[in-house]
Chain A
């Protein structure tokens, strides 16, 4: 059931493109949600809820005390907004990852992930759109839900469905025990002990956590693996990007420091979409623009799921190379020794510190070694935490949202149970957990619950 008066959020710009991404938050709690995840820059800058309507604010999105991204936040109070509800729009850095992280922070601050077309639906229902526009709204919802439905069916056929059903059954079983205990006190049914209930809840919580952990992996298949190309200036990072894309994207010049900002492009490597992020070369520099470029490079490096370290095989190793290699130690990475067409002057040790990362020699000039590099990248992706069988159960953002709510409710139930709170109250949270999981695999009804109660207990006073 989708009420009209809770607070929803979604990425409002197309995924994976553009210099900026916009996350839109709308609903009565929009400003409160913004307060919870936005730190305005400047000591006297107002919180979003204190800010006048239709104003723009500079600051950071934060989650658990950690800065997620540097953003501009627009405060628009009802009714002069698209949905005629309080609305906040957060402009963050473009590309998929910053937008995802900001959205995650907003959801963690209490918003619910919007359904397809839900902003437009609200706009229409609140009288913001005329009839002709409204005709289009139904089409949008229909088109998106059809697609979502097809995707859902594909997914539910797989192991995800099994595992979510398993979690739901486990929670239902616990709830059925509680409910039987509450509704049939005169029957000689042995109620589950507190230990049994808690053990069951913790197993369910562990299963949900495991599913939630697959979220990033699902993201990779859906939205692409993010690979940062890093290295000293002028080792050929941009040339490598152009080679991987098969076209000229980045400006290449012999002058070090040509790339001042990060560039993102998606290449298809053996079926895996890989978002390559070309970064400004990392070096000490006094120039302000280049410094900012380097700051962003470091940010891209932190956010990447895979790092492609580019070294110049034709030049001796530098302390900057060593620092870079040390920085990626422990991260999933591939080492590229570029300029294999020139005489080698780089001393390369057998096994670099930080583990057995593949090392590939390529020439961006001739294209030699590129296929090996692609193979190495794919191998690294699959052999890491992304083993094939785990990718079968990946969850999308909607599942993630539902599972997160389920997990929080189950956690509350466990705490209440442990604290000796009366069972009818524990049941409130447990039921919420069952319903939230049920949203992923289909509606949970009271009839389903009663079916379990009557199947498991002999009742009949």
Chain B
């Protein structure tokens, strides 16, 4: 065995959406970081649909961006169609979504990683975690090379014992055409982590020339483009744009970020909407026994929000048609992603199936859809920092924690990377609250409640949805990103300036009277927008105007949620001693004892969110913890 001489602060295993954010965060904070991947050509790969964002997911990307992460910028640079969803509903559920050029997305990420100071990117398969007295100290890769690190972040995605199903055909692999990681699962079991199985799936890809576009409904991007990144200067300034900066003409007067995909193509690309037919349903019903899901071959639990087309047809028999979105995978390929047709039926049935969809009668499948089963680590074994409870300095992020989605993975990645770096630097950990960020909701849900299906964020999971908006992610998180050393100071100052302007303008509206009312009162009316106001402040940036509008219009609701947060903050701040033995607390009901004993919440706030813990149990717990504190004093 050869031990690589360089000693790392942070070793990240896996270079998907979680791993990349983790590695970039750690390196940017100042840690010597190693990023290991099985295949350098597929880092940052969009294994499923070539899109980023959507409801709640788009919120996550904005939060990652506000903290100083890469996902937002990368989407802006490689997106080929941008939309702001839900714009007709309230501002808390507006969410950006973009179609990306799949290859451009990963190539740009690869280069960002390659050019990141203090980050080493290496191709190697990790087969073993090296621990010493309950602490992670490094990893062993194939070919017998070991790497030493003060902390290890595992982001293995679907690769742990990945098993791909197409019909009854099974192939080991984490993704179509790639290896499965075998040794690592065993290594995790050996240190005492419990593993379980989940399942997810992806639809077939088809070729453009077999699609009859005349039969499809066109879906266009939005104007103006709803960018993901708050840091427009970074996108539009060639000096700051590390990617291919040498190739770009300085000060090119483009409306798109220089060298972005939109800049290269000259505009947005369309997507298409179509639907299944009666024949689709017939094919599925007739071939259901060939589906590994229905034949009982797949044991893992799949996500309800992203069901296979088999599931959709069986569970909603009365629905005559299901919508299918055809999304281009990029501008240098003719492959289309068939969104809504996830399936693990045999290849020959998939061919029939796709040809039963309107406009796809002559479609050629380039890659079949498949289901993949994989090991994950039930996330109640983690602390809210994403460090494992059982092994110090070992952090887990992404799909290994039972989540699904690039955005959920990246969100955990950036937090795991930040916390690994803070550990190395001996600084206090970062835990975001449920009232601070969707990232906080996501990680709190995972670590306190666990999940019974691959976890995805929804805005309905957030108690304080009105406060966790995509427009104010910078206000919420830029100060934190700056404080941990991730977000550059200039970006932080920009956020300060933006919200100073917002406060100043709101103040002006409160003091300016017009026809017997203050302008603030006028703006509160449902139908009035800022631009309708008399005596508006010219030259305010549109983000400032938007923030002013939202703050004024929804003030009543926002105050109520803020009040609610203050009401519950006390519970969040009351910690439960780690050594507590619930069995010895008299009066706790058996169900509460069992749940608390197995989930071991850190605060009373977490305990309160566990189903089966009643207010009376909480009271007893509160008394008990206070009493033990008094005793020890």
Chain A residues with a Cβ under 8 A of chain B: 1-6, 115, 117-118, 121, 124-125, 131, 134-135, 137-138, 141-142, 145-146, 148-149, 179, 181-188, 419-425, 427-428, 442-443, 445-447, 449-450, 453-454, 458-461
Q: Is B526 an interface residue (CB 8 A)?
A: yes
Contact residues in A for B608 (Cβ distance below 8 Å): 1
Taking CB atoms, residues of chain B closer than 8 Å to A447 are: 449, 611
Interface residues of B in 580-633 (CB under 8 A from A): 586-587, 589, 608, 611-616, 618-620, 622-624, 626-627, 630-631
The complex places the Cα of A300 from the Cα of B592 at a distance, in Å, of 46
Tell me whether B561 is interfacial, beta carbon within 8 Å: yes
A182's partner among B460, B619, B630 (CB-CB below 8 A) is B460
Question: Does B193 interact with chain A (Cβ within 8 Å)?
Answer: no
Q: A134-B627, A142-B620 are in contact. Are A187 and B323 (CB under 8 A)?
A: yes
Say yes or no: B55 contacts A1, CB within 8 Å. Answer: no
A184/B55 contact (C-beta < 8 A), A121-B622, A423-B90, A445-B611 known: yes
B365 contacts partner chain A, Cβ-Cβ < 8 Å = no
List 14 interface pairs A-B (beta carbons < 8 Å), by A numbering: A117-B619, A121-B623, A137-B623, A145-B619, A182-B460, A183-B460, A185-B89, A186-B325, A422-B91, A424-B93, A447-B449, A450-B304, A460-B322, A460-B340
Give every chain A residue within 8 A of B557 (Cβ-Cβ): 425, 428
Given contacts A141-B587, A425-B554, contact A134 B623 (CB under 8 A): yes
Contacts A125-B622, A446-B461 known; A422 to B615 CB distance under 8 Å? no
Q: Which residues of A contact B229 (CB under 8 A)?
A: none
Given the complex of chains A and B, what is the CA–CA distance between A118 and B618 in angstroms? 12
Interchain residue pairs A-B with the least CB separation, the first 5: A422-B90, A424-B90, A142-B587, A145-B616, A458-B316
Judging by beta carbons under 8 Å apart, are A125 and B568 in contact? no
A185 contacts B615, C-beta separation under 8 Å = no
Give chain A residues whose Cβ lies under 8 Å from the Cβ of B571: 1, 3
Shortest distance from the beta carbon of B325 to any chain A beta carbon, whole Å: 6
Q: Which of B54, B91, B92, B614 contacts A443 (CB 8 A)?
A: B614
A458 CB contacts on chain B under 8 angstroms: 307, 312, 315-316, 319, 322
> Among the interface residues A1, A117, A118, A179, which one has the most CB atoms of the partner chain B within 10 A?
A1
B134-166 interface bits toward A, Cβ cutoff 8 Å, 1 = contact, 0 = none: 000000000000000000000000000000000
Q: In the assembled complex, which residues on chain B have CB atoms less than 8 Å from the CB atom of A125? A: 622-623, 626
Q: Collect the chain B residues with CB atoms within 8 Å of residue A422's CB.
A: 89-91
User: Do A460 and B312 have beta carbons less than 8 Å apart?
Assistant: yes
Look across to chain A and name the residue whose beta carbon is closest to the beta carbon of B305: A459
Beyond A2-B615, A424-B92, whether A145 also contacts B631 by CB under 8 A is no
In the assembled complex, the Cα of A445 lies from the Cα of B615 at a distance in Å of 14
Query: Which residues of the other chain, B, contact A181 by a CB distance below 8 angstroms?
Result: 89
Residues of A within 8 A of B56 (CB): 183
How many Å from the CB of B482 to the closest CB on chain A?
29
Beyond A6-B567, A138-B586, list 8 extra A-B contacts (CB 8 Å).
A141-B620, A142-B587, A182-B55, A422-B89, A428-B560, A453-B460, A458-B307, A460-B306
Complex Cα distance, B309 from A420, in Å, reads: 36
**Known contacts A131-B627, A458-B316; A149 and B616 CB within 8 A of each other:** yes
Chain A residue with Cβ nearest B306: A460
Q: How far is the CA of A460 from the CA of B304 in the complex (A)?
A: 8
Distance in angstroms between the alpha carbons of A138 and B618 in the assembled complex? 12
Distance, CA A445 to CA B595, complexed state (A): 15
Question: CB distance B305 to A421 under 8 Å?
Answer: no
Query: Which residue from A117, A131, A138, A461 sits with its C-beta under 8 Å from B323?
Result: A461
Smallest CB separation, B363 vs chain A (Å): 19
Set of chain B residues within 8 Å of A1, measured between Cβ atoms = 568, 571, 608, 615, 618
- Distance in Å from the Cβ of B362 to the closest Cβ of chain A? 24
Q: Measured between alpha carbons, how far is A414 from B568 in the docked complex, in Å?
A: 26
Is A5 a contact partner of B570 (Cβ separation < 8 A)? yes
Residue pair B624, A138 in contact (C-beta under 8 Å): yes
Q: Which of A115, A453, A460 contacts B342 (CB 8 A)?
A: A460
Q: What distance in Å separates the Cβ of A426 from its nearest Cβ neighbour in chain B?
A: 9
Q: CB < 8 Å: which of A141, A183, A428 contacts B616?
A: A141
A200 vs B527: C-alpha distance when bound (angstroms): 26
Q: Which of B545-595 contact A (CB under 8 A)?
A: 554, 557, 560-561, 566-568, 570-571, 586-587, 589
Q: What is the distance, in angstroms, from A123's C-beta to the closest C-beta of chain B?
A: 11
Q: How far is the CB of A379 from chain B (nearest CB, A)?
A: 40
Give chain B nearest CB distance to A432 CB in angstroms: 9
Contact of A115 among B449, B587, B619 (CB under 8 A): B619
Of A146, A182, A420, the residue contacting B93 (CB under 8 A) is: A182
Q: Does B272 contact A (CB under 8 A)?
A: no
A182-B615 in contact given A138-B623, A461-B340 (Cβ < 8 Å): no
In the complex, chain B residues 477-496 whose Cβ is within 8 Å of any chain A Cβ: none
B380 CB to nearest A CB, Å = 14
Point out the residues of chain B lying under 8 angstroms from A138, CB to CB: 586-587, 620, 623-624, 627
Q: Which residues of B contact A4 (CB under 8 A)?
A: 570
Query: Does B121 have its Cβ within 8 Å of any Cβ on chain A?
Result: no
Q: Is B459 in contact with A183, judged by CB distance below 8 angstroms?
A: yes
A115 adjacent to B616 (CB under 8 Å): yes
A186 contacts B560, C-beta separation under 8 Å = no
Which residue on A lies nearest to B55, using beta carbons?
A183
- B465 at interface (Cβ–Cβ under 8 A)? yes
Q: How far is the CA of A6 from the CA of B56 in the complex (A)?
A: 31
Is B430 on the interface with A (CB-CB < 8 A)? no
Residue of A nearest to B309 (CB): A460
B290-309 Cβ-contact flags toward A at 8 Å (1 or 0): 00000000000000111101
CB distance from A454 to the nearest CB of B (A): 4
Q: Is there contact, CB below 8 Å, between B631 and A446?
A: no
Complex: chain B residue closest to A137, CB-CB: B623
CB pair B631–A131 under 8 Å, yes or no, is yes
Smallest beta-carbon distance B339→chain A, Å? 6
Q: Considering residues A4, A149, A425, A454, which has the most beta carbons from chain B within 10 angstroms of its beta carbon?
A: A425
Which of A3, A184, A186, A460 is in CB contact (< 8 Å) with B307?
Answer: A460
Bound: A450/B460 CA distance, A:
8
Cβ-defined contact, B567 with A449, below 8 A? no
What residues on A are CB-neighbors of B466 within 8 Å?
A: 424-425, 428
Assess A419 versus B526: contact at CB under 8 Å? Given A3-B570, A141-B619, A142-B620: yes
Cα–Cα, bound, A138→B612 (Å)? 20
Could you say which residues of chain A place their CB within 8 Å of the CB of B319?
Answer: 458
| Interface: B86 (CB within 8 A) | yes
| Cβ of A144 to closest chain B Cβ, rounded Å | 9
What is the 8 Å Cβ interface bit string for chain B, positions 365-401, against chain A (1 contact, 0 not)? 0000000000000000000000000000000000000
For the complex, is B85 an interface residue (Cβ under 8 Å from A)?
A: yes
Residues of B within 8 A of A115 (CB): 615-616, 619
B86 touches A182 (CB 8 A): yes
| Closest Cβ–Cβ distance, residue B319 to chain A (whole Å) | 6
- Cα(A452)–Cα(B630), bound, Å: 45
Q: For A425, list chain B residues within 8 Å (CB).
A: 90, 466, 554, 557
Residues in B with CB closer than 8 Å to A421 are: 526
Q: Digitize B91-115: 1 where CB-to-A-CB distance is under 8 Å, 0 elsewhere.
A: 1110000000000000000000000
B458 neighbours in A (Cβ, 8 Å): 179, 183, 450
User: How close is A309's CB to chain B, nearest CB, in angstroms?
Assistant: 46
**Contact digits for B429-448, partner A, Cβ 8 Å, 1 yes 0 no:** 00000000000000000000
Within 8 A of A (CB), among B262-296: none
Question: Chain B contacts of A179 at CB under 8 A?
Answer: 458-460
- Most chain A CB inside 10 Å of its own CB: which residue of B91, B319, B340, B458: B458
Closest chain B residue to A142, Cβ basis:
B587
The answer to whether B89 touches A121 (Cβ under 8 A) is no
B527 to chain A, nearest CB (A): 9
Shortest CB distance B317–A (Å): 10
